[in-house]
Amino acid sequence: MPNIVLFSGSSHQDLSQRVADRLGLELGKVVTKKFSNQETCVEIGESVRGEDVYIIQSGCGEINDNLIELLIMINACKFASSSRVTAVIPCFPYARQDKKDKGFFDIPVDNLYAEPAVLQWIKENIPEWRNSIIVSPDAGGAKRVTSIADRLNVEFALIHKERKKANEVDRMVLVGDVKDRVAILVDDMADTCGTICHAADKLLCAGATKVYAILTHGIFSGPAISRINNAAFEAIVVTNTIPQEEKMKICPKVRVIDISMILAEAIRRTHNGESVSYLFSHVPL
């Protein structure tokens, strides 16, 4: 594609390379380093004058450093007279549901969804999916699970949870009948995984034959992997918005859905001035 430059931040080089390969592009030359006082330094290694620039940087790892690195890269490209700069952020930092003051944007923002890829994974990897039930681990995810359940033509359930504080659940109440069905927990992210592991136990006690968890963002901090290894999941399925290679080495239950094709197609459509709404219901080939 002409007049387009794709850069990768340091947070998720593998995903950036996958996106570049799908677009038939080479990643732009950029060097990131730190001064002795730990301030971030970014050097753009090629001309971006008049170019349509896309910078891929996920909100994972050293989140604050990676966010600053992204802002410096944007600033450098704008000062170098690029025609447009678009940030591609697979996992958006500081946007958890329990943070109410999220601010707002005065620039266009396209929110991409993993739902089409999730539906495809379920149909291709869970043989008993027609006898499944989609479960939300909290009331806030009800809209998400009903959408997936409707598109699979199966029923849904939810778990009402009462929190004492963030990352700590006091008690859970299952609303729905999961007996003799494959339960598929669906959530936007999992951090320490206490909630979904408790939810899995609740579903098995209620008669579910198997339990899967499908998560958009697998943060897996603290005791998460230990909890997953000890839980009765068939699989924990996450997208690769966050690198998972190291986690997969120590937890065979973790599976990954590659979403590079979604990001690549979103970049292509944005560059060509096309609508990205197609991606809300289709997985690009």
**CA dist., res. 24 & res. 237, Å (int):** 28
Residue 116 contacts residue 280 (beta carbons within 8 Å) = yes
Q: What is the pLDDT of residues 168-225, one digit of tens each?
A: 656 788 999 999 999 999 999 999 999 899 999 999 999 999 999 999 999 999 999 9
Residue 272 burial by Cβ neighbours in a 10 Å radius (0-12, 13-18, 19+): exposed
| Separate counts of helices (H) and strands (E) for the chain | 8, 12
* Mean pLDDT of all residues belonging to the chain: 92
Q: What is the pLDDT of residues 31-88, one digit of tens each?
A: 988 888 989 999 999 999 999 999 999 999 999 999 999 999 999 999 999 999 999 9
Q: What is the pTM of this model?
A: 0.91
Residue 163 contacts residue 169 (beta carbons within 8 Å) = yes
